[in-house]
Structure 1
Amino acid sequence: MAAVFHRIDRFDALPEALRGGVVAIGNFDGVHRGHQAVLNAALEIAARESRPALALTFEPHPRAVFRPDLPLFRLTPAPMKARLLKAMGFSGVVEQPFVPAFSSLPADQFVDEVLIGGLGVAHVVTGFDFHFGKGRGGTPATLAAAGKANGFGVTVVEAFADEGGEVISSSRIRALLAGGDVSQAAGLAGYRFTVEAQVTGGRKLGRTLGFPTANMSLPPETALRHGIYAVRFRRADGSLHDGVANFGRRPTVDEDGAPLLETFLFDFSGDLYGETCSVSFFGFLRGEVKFDGLDALVTQMKRDEEEARALLSSVRPLSKIELAIAFSS
């Protein structure tokens, strides 16, 4: 039987069985290979010491609190982040509300109340640039000193660079996705970019054209390039279906509409309305084009289907994470 994964909404609500664990701390937006270096270090220590492995994250993303005027393209909203952490092997995640009162905790109070009192940590793992507490007063050095004084271990993981020697970051991945380069983004993340949303009703125009689609509204901050993608679609029951998706404003039929993700599932018929499903992006096929009528649109959609089928026929999982989210039912 699969181990239970816990999503916990604040540090002082931790189940007793998860106290005394190894805790990785960070925002981990994207759970990319750089984050995975920190997270895997926590998993290794937890396995060696037979302790639960936990991640401590913050919701909403702190930047959304400190810079609410600057929209943030979240690579992994909380539910998706939890799925990825579960796939890695964590026992749970603490999604600590990042509210003004919490953000104003002095660093020593963060250690006393959150790490020791709330989580009862045995070991803390962070990245090299981790800061905590009011005014970012806590640093890896002060955390290590607090650990020595209070009897918990501290591991600080250095920056993780890609094969070209450049540090992997969420901002790099966002920039690649904004350009439609989902393949290179996957290389940095260690898995294909994946979104999750509820399937909603639409105008059913695709059905009349022979290409019925599952329509999903993504957050307005989603800065993925508009265009056509080869994708893999995962239903709520875990079943997987290859397909081709359009993300954008559909200039041929609805130029003024809000951006929408429309996925045509290959060799599938059924009702998906109301299901919360996920879509993983495996390849960018082309940008959005306004066609001269529906006949030209349908002709191009048939070409897109052929190209997507060919691309998806030879894909392989990039990691244990991706095996869980886009390859195994």
Structure 2
Amino acid sequence: MRRYNSLGDLPLGGPRRVLAIGTFDGVHVGHQAVIGRAMELAAQRGLPCMAMTFEPQPIAVLRPELRPGVLTHIGFKSQLIERLGVDELLVVPFTRAFARIRAERFAEMLVSPPVGADAVVVGENFRFGHGGAGTVEMLAQFGRSRALHVEWPPMVHSDDGKPVSSTRIRRLVATGQVAKVIPLLGRMHSVEGVVVHGEGRGRGMGIPTANLDIPADSALPSRGVYACRAVLAGGRSAAAVNIGVAPTFTAADARSTLRLEAFLLDHDGGDIYGQSMRIDFIERLRDERRFDSPDALLAQVREDVARVRELAGGVTAPEG
């Protein structure tokens, strides 16, 4: 897959192409349907297929106070889109200047060089242009006048009849319902960060944990203990993950920033500080709580580890 990081990166005089356009945060099964339909059209027309997305999310620029947690930062999002099989990815920097482009101008940009769209596929709730004035119906009307084929597949629904959306997935993640998002994403929800030094308490108890420094805008599950899979450059391991404030060791008045600590069940003990690690969430095990003693905490961790091994051994979700 060829990735372009701005419209200016696109070569002039390139081929016409089929576009799938969207924010695609999460690259969930609904997004996959949009991109998949674009790939079908591209194959039928003998053209390359390009996914066009925006960085950061438009709402982060337009209404920063309402910025939601990010399900997939651009690096992971790019990997997921590439795995779907598209030929090209265009990441458009979303700025206040870009947000002021009128809907008509945005549509014209799609059919003009260097984009040169022959067909466009978007979600049925896609909006574009200044103030979100552009709708899929407007884009289709424009397309009829400019020989641009426009499609908007119906929204994908889960087995319970509810539409699949990034907003719904974020709400489930925020309340710790990570198992419920697996069929919506088509994989486990993940966060990624760098392994940093902690306070060493886990190592002293015989349960060394990897402390993860993750981007502040990540969609992090709520406080609690989770069965997970940890993915490092050198391999993967089942992991018991605590998200919280370590109340057994931290005074109540000092508890503020949430920390993610992962106990890797099958790690060989090698140094992983400074390495990137991805955590895939399988299921929530329990609330984080204060124990009367380190020994009581250790006994509970042993129970957690047994449950993690059971769940990680039976996980069937595709790898992210």
What TM-score, normalized by structure 2, do the two folds share?
Answer: 0.92
Contact kept, 8 Å, 1:80 with 1:195, in 2: the verdict is: no
Cα distance, 1:104 vs structure 2: 0.7
Partner Cα separation in structure 2 for residue 191 and residue 52 of structure 1: 27
Question: Cα RMSD (Å) of the superposition?
Answer: 1.9
Where in structure 2 are there 5+ consecutive unaligned residues?
Answer: none
| Residue type of the alignment partner of 1:262 | E
Task: Provide the secondary structure at the position in 2 that maps to 1:119.
Answer: coil
2:192 equivalent to 1:193: no
Partner Cα separation in structure 2 for residue 115 and residue 264 of structure 1: 51
Match of 1:218 in 2: 214
What do the CA deviations read for 1:38-59 (whole angstroms, capped 9, x no partner)?
1111122223333322211111
Task: Provide the secondary structure at the position in 2 that maps to 1:122.
Answer: strand
Aligned pairs for 1:41-120 (under 5 A) are 41-120=37-116
Q: Where do 4+ consecutive residues of structure 1 move more than 3 Å?
A: 15-19, 219-223
What do the CA deviations read for 1:63-113 (whole angstroms, capped 9, x no partner)?
111211224111112112112111212223222111111111111211223
| Residue type of the alignment partner of 1:304 | D
Match of 1:272 in 2: 272
Partner Cα separation in structure 2 for residue 112 and residue 273 of structure 1: 49
Cα distance, 1:33 vs structure 2: 1.6
Give the direction of change, closer, same or farther, for the CA distance of 1:95–1:289 in structure 2 (3 Å limit).
same
Match of 2:259 in 1: 260
Cα distance, 1:135 vs structure 2: 2.0
What TM-score, normalized by structure 1, do the two folds share?
Answer: 0.90
Cα distance, 1:294 vs structure 2: 1.0
Give the direction of change, closer, same or farther, for the CA distance of 1:312–1:99 in structure 2 (3 Å limit).
same
What do the CA deviations read for 1:126-173 (whole angstroms, capped 9, x no partner)?
011111111222211221222233233211112221122211111211
| Residue type of the alignment partner of 2:280 | S
Contact kept, 8 Å, 1:229 with 1:282, in 2: the verdict is: yes
Contact kept, 8 Å, 2:4 with 2:90, in 1: the verdict is: yes
Where in structure 1 are there 5+ consecutive unaligned residues?
Answer: none
Matched-pair identity in %: 36
Partner Cα separation in structure 2 for residue 47 and residue 197 of structure 1: 37
Aligned pairs for 1:20-31 (under 5 A) are 20-31=16-27
Partner Cα separation in structure 2 for residue 17 and residue 287 of structure 1: 57
Partner Cα separation in structure 2 for residue 46 and residue 240 of structure 1: 36
Task: Provide the secondary structure at the position in 1 that maps to 2:120.
Answer: strand
Which deviates more from structure 2 when the two are superposed, residues 8-17 or residues 132-141?
Answer: 8-17
Task: Provide the secondary structure at the position in 1 that maps to 2:314.
Answer: coil
Contact kept, 8 Å, 1:27 with 1:57, in 2: the verdict is: yes
Match of 1:6 in 2: 2
Aligned pairs for 1:277-292 (under 5 A) are 277-292=277-292
Contact kept, 8 Å, 1:218 with 1:260, in 2: the verdict is: no
Task: Provide the secondary structure at the position in 2 that maps to 1:29.
Answer: coil
The count of corresponding residues between Structure 1 and Structure 2 is 315
2:240 equivalent to 1:232: no
| Residue type of the alignment partner of 1:285 | L
Cα distance, 1:20 vs structure 2: 2.0
Cα distance, 1:24 vs structure 2: 0.7
Which deviates more from structure 2 when the two are superposed, residues 146-155 or residues 294-303?
Answer: 146-155
Partner Cα separation in structure 1 for residue 43 and residue 244 of structure 2: 44
Which deviates more from structure 2 when the two are superposed, residues 124-133 or residues 214-223?
Answer: 214-223
